[in-house]
Amino acid sequence: MTSRRLGVLVSGRGSNLQALIDAVRGGRLEAEIAIVVSNRPAAYALERARAHGIEAVALDHRQYASRDDYDRELARLLGSRGVGLVCLAGFMRLVGQPLLDAFPDAIVNVHPSLLPAFPGIDAQRQALDWGVKVSGVTVHLVNRELDAGPIVLQRTVAVEPGDTPESLAERILIEEHRAYPEAVGLLLGGRWRIEGRRFVSW
């Protein structure tokens, strides 16, 4: 990892962005958030960033002719800010090849299930519908398949009788806020490699 400068991509409320900001400010994560980019101009996450003096940019995907055009612009913007690690924090878009090529093994995502179970949207509802007794959080590197890259870190969360998607999401989110800064710190520490599809750290 060459740079401890983070680029955080968001689409919504940005509570995981807040967890990263808090970890940096609290000295638990040795990094700098260089820029926050949202594909949705109205995302509350942009306000959170600005409130902390972090550059916040709305890059509306609807203004671009193709996914590749959009991802090329994202890659250019992140590169221009010296970003070394791209953190997806509730970024609800598939990452395309131009961005993957610009940041090889340097894009990380947090997902609210124990992958490979329940990828995609509504992971908490999928888990409840399936009837699992344990779900959790996965932090993983991003590759070309949806929610399928090497797993950096996982934390379990028990499913309680009477859970709704909302109540389960709330408890999973608490674990996300702990796990994500920890995993980002691990990645920035550089003591890891990819073996096959496994993330190995030491």
Residues that bind ligand GAR (CB under 6 A): 12-16, 89-90, 110-112, 123, 147, 173, 176
Q: What minimum distance in Å lies between the beta carbon of 17 and ligand GAR?
A: 6
Q: Which is nearer to ligand GAR, 20 or 31 (CB)?
A: 20
Q: What minimum distance in Å lies between the beta carbon of 44 and ligand GAR?
A: 8
The answer to whether the beta carbons of residues 45 and 38 sit under 8 Å apart is yes
Strands (E), 142-187: 151-158
**Which of the following is catalytic: 52, 61, 111, 177?**
111
Q: Which is nearer to ligand GAR, 59 or 82 (CB)?
A: 59
Give the integer Cα–Cα distance in Å for 57 and 69: 17
Give the integer Cα–Cα distance in Å for 199 and 106: 13
Q: What minimum distance in Å lies between the beta carbon of 52 and ligand GAR?
A: 15
Give the integer Cα–Cα distance in Å for 182 and 15: 15
Active site residue 111: yes
Q: Which is nearer to ligand GAR, 79 or 160 (CB)?
A: 160
Which helix (H) or strand (E) segment holds residue 140: the answer is strand 134-141
Residues belonging to the chain: 202
Catalytic residues: 111
